[in-house]
Amino acid sequence: MDVLGTAGLLSAALAAGWVDAVVGGGGLLLIPALLLSFPQLPPSAALGTNKLAAITGTTVAAVTFARRTKLDRSVALPAAALAVPAAGFGAVSASSVPADWFRPVVMALLVSVAVFVALRPRFGAAEGRDAVSRRRRMAVIALAGCGIGFYDGLFGPGTGTFLIMAFTSVLSLEFLQSSALAKVVNVGTNLGALTVFAVQGDVLWLLGAGMAVCNIAGASLGARTALRRGSGFVRTVLLVTVTGMVVKLCFDQFG
C-alpha cells in the first residue's frame, strides 16, 4: 500500500473506534475502507480483519465504561458469554445466507429506531425507577446474547445500536448505561466471530494489528467523550449514525 492508502485506513480505524465506543456501527466505516483499499479482497477477509480491529477498541471502551459508570454485570456478563458461541455460529452461517435478504429488514428496523427515538425525546434520557422483573432481565440477556449475537456474526451492521435499544427499552436505562452494557456484549460477539474467521484464514493479521492500535485510540476517546457529555450526546450520535447506516444500506441494496 502507498502512504495515502495506509493513512486512509488508519484514519478509518480511528473514526470507527470512536463511533463504536459511543453507539456502535464502526464496521460501516472500516469495512468499506478495506474493500476500497483492496478491491480484490474477499468480503470474508474484510469482515475478519475488521473484527480483529474492532475487538480491541470495543474491549478498551468496555473497560472505560465499566470503571466510570453504573454497569449491571448480572446482565452484561451472561449476555456476553452467550454472544460468543452465537456470533460464532452466525459467522459460520454467513456464507450460506445472501446479504440481500437482510438489508431490507435491517433498513426497516433502523428507520423505526430513528423515528421512535426522534419522537420520544425523553427516551433514554433518564433511568426508570421501577424494579425490573427477573423475567425481563432473562429475556434481554437471551435477546442480546443469542439473537443479536447471532446477527452480528451473520451480517453485523447496527449491532451496537440494536443492543443499546434492547437494553434501554427492556431495562429502562439511560442511553449511557445501555451503551456501557452494549460494549461488554459486543466484545463477546466480536470474539465469537473473530474466532471463526481466524480458523477459516480470513484475517489479515499484520494489517489488522495496525488498525487495532488506531481503533483503540478512537474507542478510548469515544468512551471518554460519551461519559463526559452524557446520554443526550449519545442520543444525538445514535440518530446521526442510524441515518448514515440507512443511507449506506440503501446504497448497497439499490445502488
Note the pLDDT tens digit of each residue in 54-102: 999 999 999 999 998 888 999 999 999 999 999 999 998 877 777 677 7
As a whole number of Å, the end-to-end CA separation of the chain is 28
pLDDT for res 39: 82
pLDDT for res 178: 92
How far is 177 from 187, CA to CA, in rounded Å?
16
pLDDT for res 186: 95
Between the alpha carbon of residue 73 and those of residues 78, 88, 102, 171, 185, the distances in Å are: 8, 22, 31, 13, 11
Q: Inform me whether the pLDDT recorded for 128 exceeds 70.
A: no
Least confident window among 152-156, 162-166, 202-206: 152-156
pLDDT for res 210: 93
| N residues, the chain | 255
Mean pLDDT of the chain: 88
Q: Inform me whether the pLDDT recorded for 194 exceeds 80.
A: yes
Between the alpha carbon of residue 51 and those of residues 48, 97, 129, 137, 167, the distances in Å are: 5, 19, 37, 28, 23
Residues above pLDDT 90, as percent of the chain:
47
More confidently predicted of 85 and 104: 85
Q: Inform me whether the pLDDT recorded for 130 exceeds 70.
A: no
